[in-house]
Structure 1
Amino acid sequence: MRGARVPSGVVVVTDRRQAAAPLPEVVAAAVAGGARWVLLREKDLPTPARAALAAHLREVLAPVAGQLLVAGPDPLGGDRVHLAAADPTPRTLAAAGLVGRSCHSPAELARLTTEDYITLSPVFASASKPGYGPALGTAELARLVPLAGRPVLALGGVETPDQAAACRRAGASGVAVMGAVMRAADPAATVATLRTAFAQAAFEQEVTV
């Protein structure tokens, strides 16, 4: 683990199939609401189309110094990837760039090597992936966070301010949110509300320490 700047707070995960408007518009609204990290999925797109979308989203993020993570081993012109549990780490990013990985169990945590951060999922039942799970719950999230040895994003079913706050209290450095933002009539307000709840929970933890 290289100690690079890692995603935290509210990380927006894309899904154009759920998006209430064209994906770049949804991401732009999320950025207006305070999002500074976006994880591009859209793995079914042909590589040229996905690379063009990545370039567009980087332009959306650039004015606020936001960062784009790309799901899978191909960074699509960048240097930040988020790998599936079984993906190999790209050699070009092994010593530089930013590498995250999806984890779901203690066994997967035990296989981590140089990853900068991870996601743990699903924390809650997910409307975006019905039947995906079983959900870890916040008690199990709190048990697994110390085992990760690096910052953890809570992923899966995070839709409400109370859920975001509960993930922070369980030790997560951030929450990765897809459906709640993609489907929102007002993505900016949704992101802002989740960010406020997460930050308030973090503040309360600091005060009580």
Structure 2
Amino acid sequence: MNRLYLVTDSDVARKAGHTLPFVVEEACRAGVRWVQLREKDLSTRAFLEMGAEIKPITQAYGAKLIINDRVDVALALDADGVHVGQDDMPYPMVRALLGQDKIIGLSINNLDELQAIHSDELDYLGIATIFPTGTKQDTSSLLGLEGLRQICAQTSLPTFAIGGINAQNIQQVMQTGITGAAVVSAICGHPSPYEASRELLMSERVKE
């Protein structure tokens, strides 16, 4: 399993002078094989249009296209899966709608949320928030590396850490028992998304 996961943010990309399809293409060209389309401020139509631009790129590189929150958008695009949060549609219902061949990820923020999982309907967990980050405003319960380590030790599901991860700290993150690392600004906001992705991929492989 490729261990680097790109989560998109078109505002961050725009401020760096990039379009989102460009960022995704450059990341996939560098070796990223997980892309989550997370665009909370787009209308349904704009979200679908963006997804329709992104999907051929991910398909061309054999990357997984995961849609954040929006099961309807994932169904319309025939995306590879959906990532939901604690306040989104319950994941058993997501599974009933998507079917057994799609990927479902769930965000968890602490051990209590991990222990509340009583289902085999999930394919992976997104664990947040590890470090302070500008793309997630509510960081009142930062896990840090030790909190991340504790959660990883108590689940057999694949796990992706997110929150302030970059080329300088990704090696520390990968030493906690995590499956992989998800990044936003470290790729979307970098002057060269390709070079940023390559650097992150090389950094996280040091442990292997």
Indicate if the aligned counterparts of 2:130 and 2:162 stay in contact, CA closer than 8 A: yes
Tell me the residue number matched to 2:20: 23
1:138 is the counterpart of 2:145? yes
Tell me the residue number matched to 1:35: 32
In the alignment, structure 2 segments of 5+ residues that lack a partner are none
CA distance, structure 1, for counterparts of residue 140 and residue 200 of structure 2 = 23
SS in 1 for 2:106: strand
1:100 is the counterpart of 2:105? yes
Query: Shift in Å at residue 137 of structure 1?
Result: 1.2
Query: Shift in Å at residue 193 of structure 1?
Result: 0.6
Letter in 1 for 2:199: T
SS in 1 for 2:154: helix
Q: How many matched pairs?
A: 195
CA distance, structure 2, for counterparts of residue 45 and residue 127 of structure 1 = 19
SS in 2 for 1:96: coil
CA distance, structure 2, for counterparts of residue 128 and residue 84 of structure 1 = 16
Q: 1:56 aligns with which of 53, 58, 66?
A: 53
Indicate if the aligned counterparts of 1:80 and 1:97 stay in contact, CA closer than 8 A: yes
CA distance, structure 1, for counterparts of residue 83 and residue 155 of structure 2 = 16
Tell me the residue number matched to 2:180: 174
Indicate if the aligned counterparts of 2:65 and 2:80 stay in contact, CA closer than 8 A: no
SS in 2 for 1:49: helix
CA distance, structure 1, for counterparts of residue 169 and residue 125 of structure 2 = 19
SS in 2 for 1:134: coil
CA distance, structure 1, for counterparts of residue 178 and residue 2 of structure 2 = 9
Query: Shift in Å at residue 58 of structure 1?
Result: 1.1
**RMSD after superposition:** 1.6
SS in 1 for 2:11: coil
- Identity over aligned pairs, percent: 27
Runs (4 or more) in structure 1 with deviation over 6 Å come to: none
Letter in 1 for 2:193: P
Indicate if the aligned counterparts of 1:79 and 1:93 stay in contact, CA closer than 8 A: no
Q: 1:185 aligns with which of 184, 191, 203?
A: 191
Please give the per-residue CA displacement for 1:62-113, whole angstroms capped at 9, x wherever unaligned: 2211111000141142240000123212222253311000000111111222
1:110 is the counterpart of 2:115? yes
1:44 is the counterpart of 2:45? no
TM-score when normalising by structure 2: 0.88
Tell me the residue number matched to 1:12: 6
Letter in 2 for 1:84: G
Instruction: Identify if the C-alpha distance between structure 1 residues 147 and 8 changes in structure 2 by more than 3 Å, giving closer, same or farther.
Output: farther
More moved, 77-86 vs 97-106: 77-86
Query: Shift in Å at residue 198 of structure 1?
Result: 0.7
CA distance, structure 1, for counterparts of residue 137 and residue 85 of structure 2 = 19
In the alignment, structure 1 segments of 5+ residues that lack a partner are 1-6, 204-209
CA distance, structure 1, for counterparts of residue 70 and residue 83 of structure 2 = 7
SS in 1 for 2:133: coil
